[in-house]
Structure 1
């Protein structure tokens, strides 16, 4: 049953961010069909940030009303909401309503908010729930969280999202010169959203089994017993179940305050980069090198996340010095990616295969390195107790929000990044 437990933990993890990750990869098909056009990604960014009200309320409830929140019931409600919103989205995403004399996608934006609420709140509910199980299942959960980005990307790749080609306009009787056309998808947007809803349903079933299977109950009993064995810390201070000092009002953990500030600061920084800042410029950093470079970087980077977590199962290292060094390395890779995005549509090595290889490699190493850092920090905080995992989820969301809000005006308001024309390059050969 150990393998089954790992599978269930992984499937629960896939339900954490699959909806929003799926929406991002489906944008090239949504944008031409909605009134908002290419402003839709900006709306989506704002909706996701508004959905952070969910984790905020959960964190405040844990802080001021400890023990009052029914964590299991809340997860059931979140996963059920995700299934329902995904199902409704499949049939009503294209509906438009007139607001202030202009058509608006109210149904789409409202359902997006529901899905974003599920995904954002999962950070402060799914992670603390994993504290009920033995520590090695947390790693499997992170593998599933990585798959929540990879699986929709692979399905979108099979769908043919965003694949373009340059055709001669004169042949089609539409003027002279070349123009870009996009390949028709192999299956509809409705089918893709049904897939997302199905993944949420699978995650819900996995959670039901985690709560009711006899093997899962045995694992929880073992972990509860081991937590009681740790009821006294090495210095003799009374601690709560899971090892959190009882005198710590914020129950951040039993480590020195300086270490906890360092750990949470590191966690906020890497999530700001991976979840907020860099995804907003991925198209600018990759598309100048062609569709192949963009799809390879998106797919292989998404694959790097679960692979890094899988590696962490066999090569765990909780050294804070190493995690700091890996964060610096990932930040340097992020600097190169950002520099390439700023130089778009004429980045370095534009007409050379080395340029494609370098940008794809940077994306893969960037995501893989920082995914390993996030996993190790999660394992460290898991040992600090349930409350530390709640704060872990809150810091993940806070870092992601700061990163997204920092890059939003640069990309969407001031327009400092330029995509260029794939059929008419003005860059020197």
Structure 2
């Protein structure tokens, strides 16, 4: 009985970010076909941040008019929007038009915006919905959220995304280009990177994303109506406490049911903090620290480092790039799986893991800045280091996210809503920081896998 609910929670979580993660891993096949080229990742990053209008609306409604906010209706709406947008991608992703004096993939960018609205809004709706189930299912949800990056990555690897070979080409004085020819003095020789045909086209991959979003909808329906799911709901007392908590936010009154351990000697300000965040186990300074770490971690994992992944990995070869993407994505659900059996709420451990992940991210960023000739380029040690750095970076910070999610789950529904809002805020600040550095000031340089020469 419980295992069915665990699976449904994981499938539901997988639908949270699979659409955007799927677009990300498909970039090597999309980029050669569109006018934006490798500037597309930075465009996607900024589009995702514009899509934060969704979570902003939900957060404001939760704060000022919680009675009018039907959380289930919002989830139904955004999941159906995700199904429709991902289903339209196969038909329109190559459509271009003139915009601001240049040719752009307008259909792809518009559909990416709608998919981003879906994924961003899931941060402030999916997590709070999980408070209706017993706390043990939250970890299953996080495992599914991790799979939203791993599953499309594995499918893309099977697709053969981004496999490059270096081809000898000649260009005659008349401008004709041919491959593997013997020169006669009238031709110019060069080696160019040529992407190998994929095992199946992007259109099939986009239909796959639409199918996963449909499974997410089915899982959500079953979590609401399946008898086994209803038996795993939290008690009615908890739901009444949450309703009382919402009243406290609106009327600025204290909710005695939520703070039985508060003594008369507690300050009024401390009592208010405890009323807003359920048990009030953590002090104001500790809650501020937790939310700061949450914002920082999501800025790094959702915006800052993904925007430079190609710069940090491609100088070491396409194998290093694909291994870092696939194994890094695998580290996310693995960290969540570990958290299922080793649940820890230690703020010291959280701080240590945050520093470790930040150190790995710093190494990755330095390699991206030094691209196309980073440290230990053209060596096996360099490739191993960059892949291990991505695995440790994603794994440690994913565990931190789960730790924070478990802590805030204990603090109640409101804490999880603000958790989602801080996740999106951190991601937005990270993206707004990286977009001008990557796309406007061109601080990062990508190397040609066939012609870049680095002196060791």
TM-score (norm 1): 0.94
Counterparts of 1:237 and 1:159, CA distance in 2: 62
Q: CA deviation at 1:366?
A: 0.7
The superposition leaves residues 220-258 of structure 1 with CA deviations (integer Å, 9 ceiling, x where unpaired) of 2x43346669944342489xxxxxx99459934523211
> Among 331, 338, 352, which residue is 1:304 paired with?
331
Summarize the alignment of residues 285-304 of structure 1 with structure 2, pairs less than 5 Å apart. Answer: 285-304=312-331
Note if 1:193 corresponds to 2:230.
no
Runs of at least 5 residues in structure 2 that lack an aligned partner in the other structure: 171-178, 182-186, 242-255, 265-269
- How far apart are the structure 1 equivalents of 2:423 and 2:42? 21
Paired residue secondary structure (1:67): helix
Provide the secondary structure at the position in 1 that maps to 2:166: strand
Cα displacement string for residues 105-143 of structure 1 (whole angstroms, at most 9, x for unaligned residues):
222222111100000000000000001100010000000
2:422 paired with 1:395: yes
**1:207 is the counterpart of 2:220:** yes
Indicate whether 1:223 and 2:242 are aligned.
no
1:113-262 correspondence to structure 2 within 5 Å:
113-170=113-170, 171-172=179-180, 175-220=188-233, 222-225=234-237, 231-236=257-262, 247-248=272-273, 251-253=276-278, 254=280, 255-262=282-289
Secondary structure class of the residue paired with 1:177: strand
Q: Distance in 2 between matches of 1:249 and 1:326?
A: 27
- 1:41 Cα deviation (Å)? 2.3
Q: Does the C-alpha gap of structure 1 residues 427 and 284 become closer, same or farther in structure 2, counting only changes over 3 Å?
A: same
* Cα contact 1:63–1:250 (8 A) shared by 2: no
Which residue of structure 2 aligns with residue 266 of structure 1? Answer: 293
Cα gap change, 1:85/1:227 in structure 2, threshold over 3 Å: closer, same or farther? closer
> CA, structure 1 residues 107+351, in 2 after alignment: closer, same or farther (shift >3 Å)?
closer
Q: 1:58 corresponds to which residue?
A: 58
**Residues of 1 paired with 2:387 and 2:95: CA distance?**
37
Preserved CA contact (<8 Å) 1:252 1:391: no
Shift of 1:32: 2.1
CA contact (8 A) 1:316 1:376 kept: yes
Matched, 1:49 2:49: yes
1:357 pairs, out of 384, 395, 402, with: 384
CA distance in 2, matches of 1:234, 1:311: 33
Alpha-carbon distance between aligned partners in 2 of 1:403 and 1:259, rounded to the nearest angstrom: 23
Question: Does structure 2 retain, via aligned residues, the 8 Å contact 1:154–1:299?
Answer: yes
Q: Secondary structure at the match of 1:428?
A: coil
Matched residue SS, 1:190: helix
Q: How many angstroms apart in 2 are the aligned matches of 1:175 and 1:156? A: 36
- Computing the radius of gyration from Cα coordinates, the structure with the larger value is 2
Give TM-score, length-normalised by structure 2.
0.88
- Matching residue of 1:341: 368
Q: 1:179 to 1:80 in 2, by over 3 A?
A: same
Map of 1:6 onto structure 2 = 6
1:189-220 alpha-carbon deviations (Å, 9 max, x no partner): 11111000001000000000000001111212
The 2-side partners of 1:294 and 1:5 are apart by 36
Structure-1 residue corresponding to 2:455: 428
Matched residues in 2 for 1:251 and 1:62: separation?
13
Give 1:375-386 correspondences, 5 Å limit. 375-386=402-413
Please state if 1:281 is matched with 2:346. no
What's the CA shift string for 1:170-195, capped at 9, x where partnerless?
34458412111001111111111100
Taking the aligned partners of 1:175 and 1:303, their CA distance within structure 2 comes to: 45
Unaligned residue ranges in structure 1 (runs of 5+): 239-244
Q: Distance between the aligned counterparts of 1:278 and 1:37, measured in 2?
A: 19
**Residue 34 of structure 1: how far off its partner (Å):** 2.2
Distance 2:237 2:63 in 1: 25
Q: 1:242 corresponds to which residue?
A: none
Shift of 1:100: 5.7
Residue 371 of structure 1 is matched in structure 2 by 398
Query: What RMSD in Å do the two structures reach over aligned CA positions?
Result: 2.0
Residue range with higher mean Cα deviation, 228-237 or 334-343: 228-237
Whether the 8 Å CA contact 2:45–2:307 is kept in 1: the answer is: no
Which stretch of the first structure deviates more once superposed, 40-49 or 101-110? 101-110
Comparing 223-232 with 338-347, greater Cα deviation is found at 223-232
2:361 touches 2:393 (CA, 8 Å); kept in 1? yes
